[in-house]
Chain A
Amino acid sequence: MTIEVRIPTILRTYTAGEKAVSGEGASLAALIDDLEANHPGIKERLIDDGDLRRFVNVYVNDEDVRFIGGLEAELSDGDQVVVLPAVAGG
């Protein structure tokens, strides 16, 4: 089971500059744990207090995960996950 994860510029310090990495997991939570094992520190940038950070957007096959279960969103072999920080401010 392999899932391609697209990494935004700001998080590429955790992936040795790679724009995309592979991960595994049957849910987004499991995938993030798998990413953390290979790219220590990245989890904290995605999750705060047990939930996805408000200003980090994660998409599975172009669907915002907030609409398909958040961290519980199910993943299948070949899915593509995209991480994008919100462009936002005050």
Chain B
Amino acid sequence: MVLANEMNDKRMKFILNNAEIYGVNDKIDVIRGNSDNFRCRKKIDAVVITMDYENLKTSTESFCLFANLVPDIRKTLENAFRITENVVLIVPKFVDVSELALLFTDVRRQGKQ
């Protein structure tokens, strides 16, 4: 079972339309919610996060995880780690790896506290 979380109404219709073409319409539920506050009563195994990035093509030389990604990556990750430990985060290729270390250590510390 997959729960698709989305804020935009137009895209919510597109999800259902695209799922019908692949024949998976029955097994995808669409939820309307913000990425910072999505929750579910059932036990969830994994969370997949694909971030929107601004000016991807132009900002190859100076890309920052904390500035260029929308919405705030830290809040979404914190929320995801509250629900499960299995998180899939998809980021652009030219992200500095040291930034990732900073992000995960920071989020983990706050989760423990």
Are both chains from one complex? no
**Residues of chain A whose beta carbon lies under 8 Å from any beta carbon of chain B:** none
